[in-house]
Amino acid sequence: MKSALKKFFNMISLYYYKFAIYRCEMKKIYKKKNLWKNIKLDKKISHEIKKIYGTKDYWHRYYQYFTGNFDINYIPEIIFSTKLEPIINKRSLTKALEDKSLLHTLYGDVENLYIPKTIIQKTYGIFYDVDGNPISSEIANKIVSNYLKKHNSAIIKPTIGTSSGQNVRILTRNDNWNESYKDNYIIQELIQNQDDIKKLNPNSLNTMRVITYVCNEKYYIAPIILRMGGGLSHLDNAHAGGIFISVNDDGTLGKEAYSEYGEKYKKHPYTNVKFEDYKISGIDKVKQVAIECHKRTPQLKMISWDLTINKEGMPTLIESNQYGQAVWASQIAHGKSFFGDNTEEMLKLIRKKK
Ligand SMILES: Nc1ncnc2c1ncn2[C@@H]1O[C@H](COP(=O)(O)OP(=O)(O)OP(=O)(O)O)[C@@H](O)[C@H]1O
Ligand SMILES: [Mg+2]
């Protein structure tokens, strides 16, 4: 009886979640209408889109706005977030596994991977030191202030339930961090980028969105993007004013970086670094560690890793995103579909579920 009830409540909450996300995606695409309204598609193509995805062609036109490329295999964001993601990643799992304070536990043994050192963390209301011992708030304060005396700065961020860089802050010596954060957060070492990534914008930690997924008994990596702060912010998130650009297989960047709202840049707007032919070294290492990390959490069929390369040249894991992931930025930046030749296989998962 209990398990039937549980199933029933899970079904209802998933239904409401999907409905809320559907409305949110519709709102977002209408907000960007001025970008896609002048991109015209042949009627036959719009029909085809409707037949394959059951959606209007708005998303295909929005993606095309950036590079000018059309791809019938573009996955409309609304289909990904309301239909595919809930099938491939169970919300009940990601609620626990996405916790940023678990990175060392889950992925700490991956070879050639660096994870920012924890100074202290507060997890469900209790402070812990770097070895996982519960500590008082006075001791936590002492550890942090000793660290800041020595290193001058650190990062503080919530460990669950946020995105888009919300409340990710640099801590300095006289910050009163204890008062503004609640029950789940971490204070960790501030990471610096390797030179070729730093040069693009030295104010922010610039990270790559490396998305791994499982299809036909194999791990794949979707086309990678690099995210950079747009100006003085220390965050690189697109929703926090950042910009993003495609990263090719050999580490060269695309010709143009974009903002979510349609700005296009051939040079970085803050540093003036030209993007075309600019190369980042070490992309292969980054791809390798992303797949090795995914192998540690095979319960999930798709994971978005925020990875960068630190100043010692080591791939560095900032976080893993497992629910509320996105396919738009990769498709926009690369001007091609997210799942490429695997599109049909991934769409089959949705059809099978119906
Ligand atoms: N340890 C760190 N050192 C330096 N910068 C950091 C560190 N951790 C995070 N940042 C910066 O803050 C950004 C946001 O951090 P993080 O990805 O952990 O948070 P988020 O809010 O979950 O973002 P997302 O929308 O990607 O899920 C990073 O992309 C990076 O630019
Ligand atoms: Mg992030």
Map out the domains of the chain as residue ranges: 2-89+345-353, 93-114+193-324, 118-188
Q: Is the CB of 163 under 6 A from ligand 1?
A: yes
Average pLDDT taken over every residue of the chain: 94
Give the integer Cα–Cα distance in Å for 25 and 177. Answer: 34
Query: Separation of 311 CA from ligand 1 center, angstroms?
Result: 17
| Ligand index nearest the alpha carbon of residue 186 | 1
Percentages (nearest 5) of helix, strand, coil residues in the chain = 40, 20, 40
Long-range contacts of residues 220-223, Cβ cutoff 8 Å, at least 24 apart? 220/339, 220/342, 221/287, 221/290, 221/291, 222/327, 222/330, 222/338, 222/339, 223/330, 223/331, 223/333, 223/334, 223/336, 223/338, 223/340
Structure confidence at residue 162 (pLDDT): 81
pLDDT digits 0-9 by tens, 70-128: 999 999 999 999 999 999 999 899 999 999 999 999 999 999 999 999 999 999 999 99
Query: Separation of 219 CA from ligand 2 center, angstroms?
Result: 22
Find the mean pLDDT for residues 133-159. 96
The answer, yes or no, to whether residue 218 has pLDDT greater than 80, is: yes
Pocket test for ligand 1, best of 103, 171, 205 (most atoms within 8 A of CB): 205
Confidence of residue 14 (pLDDT cuts 50, 70, 90): confident
Length of the chain in terms of residues written: 354
Sequence-distant (6+) residues with CB within 8 A of 333 are 66, 67, 223, 225, 244, 245, 246, 254, 257, 258
Look up the pTM and report it.
Answer: 0.95
| Ligand index nearest the alpha carbon of residue 103 | 1
Return the residue whose CA atom lies nearest to atom 25 of ligand 1: 164
Query: Separation of 307 CA from ligand 2 center, angstroms?
Result: 9
Structure confidence at residue 132 (pLDDT): 95
Nearest to 13 by CA among 92, 88, 85, 98: 92
Confidence of residue 55 (pLDDT cuts 50, 70, 90): very high
Query: Separation of 283 CA from ligand 1 center, angstroms?
Result: 19
Transcribe 307-320 into DSSP letters: EEEBTTS-EEEEEE
Q: Is the CB of 167 under 6 A from ligand 1?
A: no
Q: Dig out the tokens for 75 from the structure.
A: 């996955």
Q: Is the CB of 156 under 6 A from ligand 1?
A: no
Sequence-distant (6+) residues with CB within 8 A of 40 are none
Confidence of residue 354 (pLDDT cuts 50, 70, 90): low
Q: For residue 294, count other CB atoms closer than 10 A to its CB.
A: 24
Distance (Å) of CA 17 to CA 22, 53, 85, 127, 323: 9, 20, 12, 32, 12
Question: CATH number of the domain at 93-114+193-324, please?
Answer: 3.30.470
326 phi/psi in degrees, rounded to 5 = -145, 145
The answer, yes or no, to whether residue 4 has pLDDT greater than 80, is: no
Give the integer Cα–Cα distance in Å for 210 and 314. Answer: 15
Place of tokens 């040249």: 313
Per the CB < 8 A criterion, the answer to whether 302 and 214 are in contact is yes
Confidence of residue 176 (pLDDT cuts 50, 70, 90): confident
Give the integer Cα–Cα distance in Å for 154 and 187. Answer: 7
Give the integer Cα–Cα distance in Å for 339 and 75. Answer: 8
Range list of H helices, 127-186:
137-151, 177-180
| Ligand index nearest the alpha carbon of residue 204 | 1
| Ligand index nearest the alpha carbon of residue 236 | 1
Give the integer Cα–Cα distance in Å for 283 and 131. Answer: 32
Q: Is the CB of 165 under 6 A from ligand 1?
A: yes
Shortest-distance atom of ligand 1 to CA 239: 25
Q: For residue 236, count other CB atoms closer than 10 A to its CB.
A: 29
